[in-house]
Amino acid sequence: MTAQPDTVRPATLRWGWMAAGLGLLIGAVLLGVVVGPAKMGAGQVLRELFGSLIFDSPSDLTATEQAILWELRLPRVVLGGLVGAMLAVAGGAYQGVFRNPLADPYLLGVAAGAGLGATIVIVSAGDGSTALLPLAAFVGGTVAVAAAYVIGRSIGGRSATTIILAGVAVAAFFTAMQTYLQQRNLDTVRQVYSWILGRLTTTGWREVLILLPYVIVSAAVLLFHRRLLDALSVGDAEADALGVPTGRVRAIVVIFATLGTAAAVAVSGLIAFVGLIVPHTVRLLVGSSYRSLLPLSMVFGATFLILADLAARTVASPAELPIGVITAFVGAPFFGLILRTSRRVIS
């Protein structure tokens, strides 16, 4: 740092961490496309990727190998990255607007609503055709959050706590309906469960293209709120007195975090824990300013989910584990370790 030690500096993105995070992300992407049942050399894969992207010179991969790379592995890795980035940035933003360390993107009922939507499609399809599943999950998730928000506001005005409690009630209600449907249709319970535990399945680039616009818009809006989220960290009453429109900030952040999360959940199922542990890990590493926390959460969330998906499809190969099992199984102890070694309490 060149500035005087006693000169005011606004919090800014920690570029060193960002560079490290991008390095890890690139490593995770390469690992994700190289590792798989069909053996391809890392060098060949790199030549194929960079050759066709930059130099327009084809590599020595066979046509089948090229198809596996471009139509199976790469879309799946990119989807994992998008879902991980979206869940992590939404979780970080939720923790900010609700000033609650337990907040994650599913706090206001996205998961329960999406779960109900998905279950309805699965049990009513019967023949296993689930083309409508992403749309139903998206609609269910956004309806649940909208209900929680409207109910919370009608009870307690702009208070964050009443909105959270309304979210708990709405989630319980939707989960009750979902569980009832699930128990009435035991023949599809496996399918419902596999969706609830989360999985990244791709049909070429279709899912990526569905999700991408939501991630771009949501993440951009959330990142633009970085200073206001910092201001909210002193609490609603003080932020009000500083002229911050706290109610409007919370509403906008919830809307865009929900749109992005619902879109992610629609294509990936309910992947647990990413939106909780990634932002907290970043917070413990670089401090709690949202100017670093949100962008770094995206990069680390993408990396984490790409690696978790790699584990999900290789650990018990050729069987695939639900990715939500991996994120919780690996994420929880890792998070515990981070908490233990960190000096500062989450505030």
Give 189 or 251: the residue with its C-beta nearer to other proteins: 251
CB of 22 to other proteins, least distance (A): 22
| Rounded (to 5) percent helix, strand, coil in the chain | 75, 0, 25
Burial class (CB in 10 A: 0-12, 13-18, 19+), 39: exposed
Give the x-and-dash track for 283-322 against other proteins (CB under 8 A): ----xxx-x-------------------------------
**C-alpha span between 306 and 33 (Å, rounded):** 10
Q: Which stretch binds other proteins (CB under 8 A): 196-204, 240-248, 270-278, 311-319?
A: 240-248
| Of 64, 63, 180, 185, residue with least CA distance to 122 | 185
DSSP at 158 = T
Give 102 or 209: the residue with its C-beta nearer to other proteins: 102
**C-alpha span between 50 and 90 (Å, rounded):** 32
Angle at 104 between CA 100 and CA 110, to 5 degrees: 125
Binding residue for other proteins (CB under 8 A) from 14, 73, 199, 226? 226
Q: Which stretch binds other proteins (CB under 8 A): 8-16, 57-65, 134-142, 301-309?
A: 8-16
Beta-carbon contacts of residue 81 (< 8 Å; ≥ 6 apart): 25, 28, 29, 302, 303, 305, 306
- Asked if 235 is part of the footprint of other proteins (rule: CB under 8 A), the reply reads yes
Contact 112, 68 (CB under 8 A): no
- Asked if 336 is part of the footprint of other proteins (rule: CB under 8 A), the reply reads no
Give 82 or 231: the residue with its C-beta nearer to other proteins: 231
Number of residues that bind other proteins (CB under 8 A): 33
Residues within window 12-51 making contact with other proteins, judged by CB under 8 A:
none
Binding residue for other proteins (CB under 8 A) from 56, 237, 318, 341? 237
Which residues lie near other proteins (CB under 8 A)? Answer: 5-11, 224-228, 230-231, 233-235, 237-245, 287-289, 291, 344-345, 347
